[in-house]
């Protein structure tokens, strides 16, 4: 696409040291290890560079795909035409604000953020330690596990719109609900989030993190590529239990399978395609609906050629 070539030229003129790749495989940047080439993939190295990239795409009328840690994304086999901005290396940093608050840039992993809190004798992020991905992705999705959710601890979030302007969302304005937030309806990037935590002892926090990590290793197929929980929790029951009850553990389409270890996960056994995963998702939805009358909703973000999510 001529417009994308022009964008690349402009970015290289502005910041020659940019990491910019043409036809970069998305499979290299997603936890599913699935996805064809991105026409252009840009890796800004700071918030300033990220703002420059976003402003330039905005001025040229290009709507980019935004990719953080890639842990909740199923990218299409044909790849995507346009530009993918990878934000995780641009937004790095953790800071203790006071006795109970920390600030985390959105590119930080949840594991590092939870351990930073532990080192400062703060509790509240233990549940997040084992969730793959970044702070930004977790805030965007209101990620949760083992009875905790991001909404329980996130009190303020900085958000950069595509034109480079920054807005502050505090408290209820973050719009948290089950696996959703106000940011899902906005075009832009989460920059940083402030968490309100509870004073504790480092040893106790670390012990809780270890306990939850042991539970995860025992229950989840962490040894295989996946995008975490494949389906959202329905209004009644649990997705994994409904899938198991329908006898679907081990169900395969191509290289994609419902995990034998945890029915809520779809895993890449090797060589799985996005088409395999999507076909499997549809089969699971239909068979669970036939068995229980519950229609499961995917939790994985499905990138498509015609819609950015």
Q: Which residues are catalytic?
A: 179, 229, 299
Q: How many CB atoms lie within 10 A of CB 303?
A: 21
The bridge status of strand 154-161 relative to strand 148-149 is: unpaired
Alpha-carbon span 41 to 22, nearest angstrom: 6
SS3 of residue 273 by DSSP? coil
SS3 of residue 153 by DSSP? coil
Cα 204 to chain center, whole Å? 28
SS (H, E, C) the chain: CHHHHHHHHHHHHHCCCCEEEEEEEHHHHCCCCCCCEEEEEEECCCHHHHHHHHHHHHHCCCCCEEECCCCCEECCCCCEEEEEEECCCCCCCEEECCCCEEEEECCCEHHHHHHHHHHCCEECCHHHCCCCCEHHHHHHHCCEECCEEHHHCEEEEEEEECCCCEEEEEHHHHCCECCECHHHHCCEEEEEEEEECEECCHHHHHHHHHHHHHHHHHHCCCCCCEEEECECCCCCCCHHHHHHHCCCCCCEECCEEECCCCCCEEEECCCCCHHHHHHHHHHHHHHHHHHHCCCCCECCEECCCCCCC
Q: Are 152 and 113 in contact (CB under 8 A)?
A: no
């Amino acid at each position: 696409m001529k417009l994308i070539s022009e964008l690349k030229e402009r970015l290289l003129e502005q910041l020659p040291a940019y990491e910019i790749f043409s036809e970069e495989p998305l499979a290299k940047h997603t936890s599913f290890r699935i996805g064809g080439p991105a026409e252009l993939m840009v890796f800004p190295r700071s918030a300033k560079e990220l703002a420059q990239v976003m402003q330039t795409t905005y001025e040229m009328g290009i709507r980019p795909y935004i990719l953080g840690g890639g842990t909740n994304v199923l990218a299409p086999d044909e790849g995507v035409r346009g530009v993918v901005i990878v934000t995780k290396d641009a937004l790095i940093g953790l800071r203790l604000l006071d006795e109970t608050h920390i600030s985390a840039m959105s590119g930080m992993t949840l594991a590092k953020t939870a351990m930073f809190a532990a080192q400062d004798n703060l509790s509240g992020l233990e549940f997040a330690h084992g969730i793959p991905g970044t702070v930004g992705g977790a805030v965007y999705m209101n990620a949760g596990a083992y009875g905790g959710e991001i909404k329980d601890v996130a009190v303020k979030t900085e958000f950069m719109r595509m034109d480079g302007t920054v807005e502050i969302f505090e408290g209820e304005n973050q719009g948290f609900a089950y696996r959703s937030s106000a940011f899902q309806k906005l075009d832009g990037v989460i920059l940083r989030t402030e968490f309100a935590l509870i004073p504790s002892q480092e040893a106790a926090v670390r012990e809780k993190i270890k306990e939850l990590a042991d539970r995860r290793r025992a229950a989840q197929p962490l040894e295989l590529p996946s995008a975490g929980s494949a389906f959202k929790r329905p209004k009644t029951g649990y997705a994994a239990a409904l899938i198991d009850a329908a006898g679907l553990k081990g169900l395969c389409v191509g290289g994609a399978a419902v995990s034998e270890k945890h029915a809520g996960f779809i895993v890449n056994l090797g060589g799985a395609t996005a088409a395999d995963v999507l076909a499997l998702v549809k089969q699971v939805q239909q068979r669970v609906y036939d068995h229980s009358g519950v229609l499961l909703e995917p939790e994985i973000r499905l990138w498509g050629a015609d819609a950015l999510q």
